[in-house]
Amino acid sequence: MKSIADIQALIREIPDFPKPGILFRDITTLLQDADGLKATIDLMAEQVISYQPDCIVGIESRGFIFGMPLAYKLGLSFVPVRKPGKLPAAVHHVSYDLEYGQDSLEVHQDALTEHHRPLIVDDLLATGGTAAATAKVIEQTGATIAGFSFVIELSGLNGRQKLPDGIPITTLISY
């Protein structure tokens, strides 16, 4: 199995993307490496099994990339949280602020109940706005969030501070 250092080495750094001064962490090179992708999912599963989730919630869209194989690995179901207008049935909806503007997320109203313990999964924890909004829309279902799992955390952006208190957070790689 590859180590976390091996996985980190598969993440390409692209300076000045999407704008000058930003060092972008590109996961496409990790996704292109079968052993690295498998190790990522295996290590994420090891980190979160003690949270006892009963389903995985993936945040559109890169949360789907890691959430689906993690659900498969753990033998759990998968619930997508999507941008508005992408889900065909009745939804719970939340709007949230971005650095410049607003965005929204939705989940099917019948996807989760108060008996569920979902694990929220995404590729990246940066400022925490999207993950915090996902927690709010999941709370509308009555479910109890088991935890958060991210491949990468940009710790200098303090995204953890926006997430609900008392809910465990795991990341494989921190920059």
Domain boundaries, the chain: 51-174
Please give the model's pTM, rounded to 2 decimal places: 0.96
Question: How far is Cα 136 from Cα 95, in angstroms, rounded to an integer?
Answer: 10
Catalytic one of 12, 13, 60, 99: 99
Q: Class for domain 51-174, per CATH?
A: alpha beta
Residue tagged active-site, from 62, 117, 139, 160: 62
Q: Is 139 a catalytic residue?
A: no
> How high is the pLDDT of residue 2?
84
| Angle 64-140-146 from CA coordinates, rounded to 5° | 55
Q: What's the confidence (pLDDT) of residue 1? A: 64
Give the pLDDT of residue 98. Answer: 79
Is 62 a residue of the active site?
Answer: yes
In this prediction, the residues of the chain whose per-residue pLDDT falls under 70 are 1
